[in-house]
């Protein structure tokens, strides 16, 4: 009797097993299709990023520049508060792990100030002679050294001796020591004076000779030098980037002969109206020297800006000015 019952149930059991197998096969087929779609999307993304990376940085949009740099960003901790970062998808930069303001962007994004970065990429030419005044970690110094080529020249001024050492190492590891150098001096209106450089804790980018120290700040004694003295024997000077946290007016006073000698000079100047005792007088002096007042806008475009705009807008921020006589 039991055997007859089992014989009658076998077809039902086999039918159920076959139905389950068909259902599992359908689910597996759907999963395979999903995986194939994911692989295709990933392949397209890799191809897109590869294509962007193969294009010259200067031909990218700001969003593409950010994407390429982020995808190529790498950081290695070397010990003793020292980091090695890959920036702009190609350069190696030594950085201080104690910096909590600029360095995190270099580590995780691989770029800094994309608008100014793009302006340099589109403006600079091979064989140019350039100054990076207020170089900090040397981000722009490396970019300039690459853009001017072996026949060009770049001099970085960074009064913070700890950062000067890092810049020297970065220039060497990238093969730029033949065309670029760094000096631990502060550009000013007069040469040979000793001043105090105040370095706020964790914020090397805010170091200045124009602020008062707090108990948490690091204080360094540094020597001043004028741009006129530094470049007196240079056959040409094509571009100066100036970012010195309030000492811009003093730098300008110390480069009057330089302005006369180089009529085609381009100056990228960080202008913060609250930093100066006479901001209007500073802008008047810039225009009196024959420079057109223009700014780098949020989209990275160079556009005219008026003295009134510079004085009355961005009271708590700054302008990236693009100054030229053309």
Grade residue 34 by pLDDT with cuts at 50, 70 and 90.
confident
Rounded Cα gap, residues 131 and 142, in angstroms: 12
| CA-to-CA separations, 12 to 4, 7, 16, 21, in angstroms, rounded | 14, 10, 6, 14
Residue-level pLDDT at 3: 53
The residue among 88, 91, 181 whose CA lies nearest residue 129 is: 181
Model pLDDT, residue 192:
97
Residue 311 scores a pLDDT above 80: yes
Q: What is the pLDDT of residues 46-63, one digit of tens each?
A: 444 544 444 588 889 999
Residue 69 has, within 13 A of its CA and on its CB side, a CA count of 26
- DSSP structure class, residue 221: E
Token pair for 200: 């706020």
Q: Which listed CATH number (3.40.50.150, 3.40.30.10, 3.40.630.40, 1.10.1420.10) goes with 113-324?
A: 3.40.50.150
Weakest-pLDDT range from 29-38, 70-79, 209-218, 241-250: 29-38
pTM of the model: 0.83
How far apart are the C-alpha atoms of 114 and 88, rounded to whole Å?
10
Domain segments of the chain: what residues?
Answer: 113-324
pLDDT computed for residue 42 by the predictor? 64
For the record, the structure tokens of 300 come out as: 């990275």
């Amino acid at each position: 009797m039991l055997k007859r019952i089992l014989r009658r149930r076998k077809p039902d059991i086999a039918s159920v097993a076959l139905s389950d197998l068909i259902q599992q096969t359908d689910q597996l087929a759907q999963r395979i299709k999903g995986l194939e779609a994911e692989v295709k999307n990933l392949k397209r993304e890799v191809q897109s990023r590869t294509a962007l990376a193969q294009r010259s940085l200067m031909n990218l949009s700001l969003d593409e520049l950010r994407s390429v740099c982020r995808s190529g960003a790498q950081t290695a901790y070397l010990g003793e508060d020292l980091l090695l970062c890959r920036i702009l998808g190609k350069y190696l930069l030594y950085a201080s792990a104690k910096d909590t303001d600029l360095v995190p962007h270099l580590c995780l994004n691989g770029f800094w100030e994309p608008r100014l970065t793009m302006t340099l990429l589109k403006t600079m030419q091979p064989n140019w002679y350039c100054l990076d005044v207020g170089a900090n970690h040397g981000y722009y110094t490396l970019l300039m050294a690459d853009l001017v080529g072996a026949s060009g020249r770049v001099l970085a001024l960074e009064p913070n001796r700890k950062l000067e050492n890092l810049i020297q190492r970065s220039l060497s590891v990238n093969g730029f020591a033949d065309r670029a150098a760094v000096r631990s001096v502060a550009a000013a209106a007069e040469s040979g004076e000793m001043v105090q450089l105040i370095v706020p804790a964790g914020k090397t980018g805010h170091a200045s000779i124009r602020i008062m120290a707090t108990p948490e700040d690091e204080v360094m004694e540094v020597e001043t030098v004028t741009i006129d003295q530094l470049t007196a024997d240079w056959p040409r000077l094509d571009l100066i980037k100036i970012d010195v946290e309030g000492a811009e007016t003093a730098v300008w006073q110390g480069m009057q002969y330089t302005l006369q000698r180089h009529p085609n000079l381009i100056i990228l100047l960080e202008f913060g109206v609250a930093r100066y005792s006479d901001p209007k007088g500073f802008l008047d002096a810039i225009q009196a020297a024959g420079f057109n007042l223009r700014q780098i806008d949020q989209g990275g475009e160079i556009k005219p800006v008026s003295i009134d705009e510079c004085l009355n807008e961005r009271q708590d921020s700054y302008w990236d000015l693009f100054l030229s006589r053309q």
